[in-house]
Each structure stands twice: as C-alpha cells, then as structure tokens.
Amino acid sequence: MSTSHHTPADDTRTAPEKSSDDADDTTADAESTATKQQRLAAYLREQAADGEVYFKSKFIADDVDLSAKEIGALILKLQDSVADLSIERWSYTSATTWRVERTN
C-alpha cells in the first residue's frame, strides 16, 4: 500500500486567467445596480409625492421591473444614500412592510 504525498508545487493546475471581458462584466453589474437603484428611488419619490407610502416589495416588483429580492437589497442601500426620502422598516407580516416619506 503506497501513499502519495503532493505538495502545492506538484499541483500543475492553474486558475483561469481573467480576460478583459470579465472586468467589463463587473462594471456592467455595478452600473446595472446603480440604474436599478435610481429606478426604485424615482418610483418611491413618485409614490410618496403627497406624503408617505407603505409597501411590500412583492407588491411593487412588477411596477419597477425588479424582483422582490432585488428590491429588498436595493432598499437597504437607498436608506443611507437618498437624502430626500426617509425609508424605514415599518413592520413584518409575511414580508417586510416599508414606510417611505419625502423629506423635502
């Protein structure tokens, strides 16, 4: 019974090299997220134009062409980055209800 011992130097596998296309994908993803954030923020501004609005992500998903999961992730980012909207987690009953109010 023979046991073979390998060292990292014996490993001839290499990681695939990143092509320039990979960098473009990362930039496109970041732009896509920024675009989605802008679209969601614009929608929330419009909905809260007369004061405040309460919503669950799953009920506005079609309106903003995003999934409920995407909205949940984006709304957390918007809480800290949009000065003219006050966004707070209001309650939870089968899904988070958000309260949004225009601040100016």
How far is Cα 13 from Cα 15, in angstroms, rounded to an integer? 7
Give per-residue pLDDT as tens, 63-80: 999 999 999 999 999 999
Cα torsion angle, 44, 40, 66, 90, sign: negative
**Domain boundaries, given as residue ranges, for the chain:** 22-102
Q: Has this prediction a pTM greater than 0.85?
A: no
CATH code of 22-102, in short, is: 1.10.10
Give per-residue pLDDT as tens, 16-44: 454 444 444 455 565 589 999 999 999 99
Give residue 22's pLDDT.
47
